[in-house]
Amino acid sequence: MADRKLIRELQAIVGRDAVLHAPEDLLVYEYDATIERGLPEAVVLPVTTQQVSRLVKLARRRGLPVVARGAGTGLSGGAIPAAGGIMLAMTRMTRILEVDAENRLAVVEPGVVNLDLSKAVAPHGLYYAPDPSSQKACTLGGNVAENAGGPHCLAYGVTTNHILGLEVVLADGDIVWLGGKTADPPGYDLRGLVVGCEGTLAIVTKIIVRLLPLPQATITLLAIFNEVDQASRAVSAIIGQGIIPAALEMMDKVTMQAVEAAVHAGYPPDAGAVLLIEVDGLPETVGPQAQAVEVICSELGAREVRIGFSPPERERLWAGRKGALGALGRLAPSYYILDGVVPRTKLPQVLQGVYEIGERYRLRIANVFHAGDGNLHPNILFDESQPGQSEQVLAAGADILRLCVEAGGTITGEHGVGMEKRDFMRWIFSDDDLEVMSRIKVAFLAGDGFNPGKVFPTGVGCGEITSRQRAVIQALGPDVYI
């Protein structure tokens, strides 16, 4: 609970209606899409960069940490105030400041919702490519902080490939631009450091994004397989033959059953796995490319490849895919979602290992993921109320991530390290790797001022907060997406 003086000082900066401090108001801001919880002392809703700067200076003077929050759809605890302090809810900074269609860029505030930007620039024949499944809710500021991905990142790249410049507030309250509208700015790529820093280096207050022209033609395919193994072999065969679809998603039987029960999207619930594939480009080329994909899938044992979906059918398939996580709630009261990445050629063996781990722990695992990128999202289904199950789930999750790392992969492809995976960082980075990384935080003078308790394993970086050592158990909720 914040002291009165602090509240008055905050109000003096942003006005009375932009400071929340009553316990019932704070509760709304203690969560994200994980079940980590953490209460801030106050929530502030700034509308200008100047206000953010003054708030950061005030927090620093008071020795309070600052945590920025977008829509709270994050999947690694990035927006959880792990050590209290002041939360900056960026949801009132929602202006699209500039759309430069000729140069294909836009300048936006961090609270702009991902999909709203694409809608706003669609009349110019443009769109913003990274499309996290939560894109109807998640904010671009949050996307920048976590370096968010999405189904269509296979061909077009993740958030960092689409950010040209950032206006940020540094830990001392200074406002600077990193990068900008023009190409190859001289100097170190500080923009690239802040993208994906999980809110630990700076608070982003303006974003220059690159926009892409809408593809002239898109063909959606649904390749249906009896076995997961066949589907995962088809994935590396497609990439190996030099075809890079716009999207290449996999869903297994458990997931499809849940999705079909929930939204009737058009998936075959009796199949072992499907690949949802999209090719886009010129009308002349998408046809032959779709045909080549179809041939590969058939050769690798697809029992059927559906093609020629009407726009509403396509929309339903994607709604089913993007809503898969929410649908899994029908199967179990709780689930734990992972975000490992493996080289694409290792998909068959790693997926098999994932299911084996499930059997070993007697836990059901549903897989729905960005197969083309090798970015797995195993969801471990369980019942938190059963004594001992949570511990089993955590152990199984750790085994799965260990498997990804041993296959040459990594512990997180798009959700971020956050709180839950920070102690797994040592699996992929040595003490020296992490020590060098922590020097960046020193250079930003960030200390524990911004989002403490994230990214770095306990004992690395500046200071240390008491880690609850509790990995994230996903709560059930309709607003959770992968």
Which parts of 178-207 interact with other proteins (CB under 8 A)? 178, 181-190, 192-193, 195-197, 201
Among 39, 120, 155, 445, which residue interacts with other proteins (rule: CB under 8 A)? 445
Nearer of residues 352 and 392 to other proteins, judged by Cβ: 352
247-252 vs 212-213, strand pairing mode: unpaired
* Residue choice 333, 408, 477, 478 for contact with other proteins (CB under 8 A): 408
Which is closer to other proteins, CB of 241 or CB of 386? 241
SS3 label, residue 226: coil
Compare residues 168 and 393 and give the one whose CB is closer to other proteins. 168
Interface segment toward other proteins; rule CB under 8 A; list 34-42, 50-58, 113-121, 409-417: 409-417
Residue 145: both structure tokens together: 């902080």
* Interaction residues for other proteins, span 201-260 (CB under 8 A): 201, 212-213, 215-216, 236-237, 239-244
The secondary structure of 268-291, three-state, reads: CCCCCEEEEEEEEECHHHHHHHHH
Question: Any contact of residue 268 with other proteins (CB under 8 A)?
Answer: no
Beta-sheet pairing, 42-44 with 86-89: parallel
Contacts of 54 (CB under 8 A, 6+ apart): 13, 173
From candidates 113, 350, 419, 425, binder to other proteins by CB under 8 A: 425
Between 161 and 469, name the residue whose CB sits nearer to other proteins. Answer: 161
Q: Look-up: residue for tokens 């999705």? A: 259
H helix or E strand, kind and range, residue 114: helix 114-121
Query: Residue 243, by phi and psi: left (phi above 0), alpha (psi -120 to 50) or beta?
Result: beta
CB-facing half-sphere around the CA of 67: CA atoms within 13 A: 29
CA distance 16 to 8: 8
According to DSSP, the residues that pair with 331 across neighbouring strands are none
Q: Which long-range contacts (CB under 8 A, 24 or more apart) does 22-30 make?
A: 29/69, 29/72, 29/87, 29/89, 30/80, 30/81
Which of residues 40 and 196 has its CB atom nearest to other proteins in the complex?
Answer: 196
Q: What is the C-alpha separation between 376 and 368, in angstroms, rounded?
A: 7
Residue 343: CB minimum distance to other proteins, A: 5
Total site size for other proteins, rule CB under 8 A? 88
User: Which residues from 153-172 bind other proteins, rule CB under 8 A?
Assistant: 153, 157-158, 160-161, 170
Question: Which residue from 269, 442, 469, 477 is in contact with other proteins, where contact means CB under 8 A?
Answer: 442
Among 51, 375, 390, 474, binds other proteins (CB under 8 A): 375
The least distance separating other proteins from the CB of residue 386, rounded to whole angstroms, comes to 31
Binding mask 91-130 for other proteins (x = CB under 8 A): ---------x-xxx--------------------x-----
Q: Which stretch binds other proteins (CB under 8 A): 17-25, 52-60, 387-395, 402-410?
A: 402-410
